[in-house]
Amino acid sequence: MEPIRIFYFSDVLCIWAYIAQIRLDELKTTFEDKIAIAHHFVPVFGVASEKLENRWRERGGLQGYSDHVQEVGKKFDHITVHPDIWTKVTPPSSTSCHLFLHAIKLVEANGLVEPDQQVFEKATWAFRKAFFTQLANVSDRKVQFEIAEELRLPIAAIQAQIDSGEAYAQLSKDFELVKEHTVTVSPTLIFNEGRQRLNGNVGYRVIEANIRELLHNPPGEQSWC
């Protein structure tokens, strides 16, 4: 039986995607080869500071948003959020980070790192954690390379994927998929060729139930519900 294919859209700077990582890890542990998760990026924070200042102008601006993110973070024991999040350091855009991560994904796909290391997923988590816990400006290329070096990734190979335009092509594919599936929320999970989706802060059991339903009632078969 073919694995259940899941499109997973997220923004590296999104607190909800940061929170949701533990759920993805649990899904992979529970379902193993029964699911295949395809990671894509949605630029919720493509123009971060301007967007937040405009949307939170009447609620305290960046400080108001920082307070909101900290309150959200306090509800989840498995994550840590820096008390100065979004105020002391405000990354201009998540798009630069998404481009760099696509370059890492290409390095992995082209066999330039040891197989089964899951370097793309490890790097994505490292970028999220660096921002939310250390206030790292992950939109800055210098910071991106520093994180990649800490993960012992091949810097020249990553830069080559960016210079060649290949990483840009992959990022453009994400933009097209975002439009095709009208994705506006991070994170968003899309199942069953676009017929099912879960947006935002969705609990693990809800995600699990959707997958089990698809496993027991594959696309094309009739279901009583």
Could you list the pLDDT tens digit for every one of the 225 residues in the chain? 789 999 999 999 999 999 999 999 999 999 999 999 999 999 999 999 999 999 999 999 999 999 999 999 999 999 999 999 999 999 999 999 999 999 999 999 999 998 778 999 999 999 999 999 999 999 999 999 999 999 999 999 999 999 999 999 999 999 999 999 999 999 999 998 888 999 999 999 999 999 999 998 765 554 444
Give, in order, the Cα–Cα distances in Å from 98 to each of 35, 68, 157, 173: 23, 24, 16, 12
Integer Cα distance of 199 and 206 in angstroms: 11
Integer Cα distance of 200 and 189 in angstroms: 9
Q: What is the pLDDT of residue 192?
A: 81
pTM: 0.93
The 10 Å CB-count burial string (b at 16+, else e) for 152-167 is ebeeebbbbbbeeebb
CB-side exposure of 152: number of CA atoms within 13 Å? 4
Integer Cα distance of 189 and 60 in angstroms: 31
Residue 137, classified by CB atoms within 10 Å of its CB into exposed (0-12), middle (13-18) or buried (19+), is middle
Q: Which homologous superfamily is 4-216 in?
A: Glutaredoxin (3.40.30.10)
User: Residue type at 12?
Assistant: V
**DSSP structural state of residue 113:** S
The residues, any chain, with a CB within 8 Å of residue 101's CB and separated by 6 or more, are: 12, 41, 120, 123, 124, 127
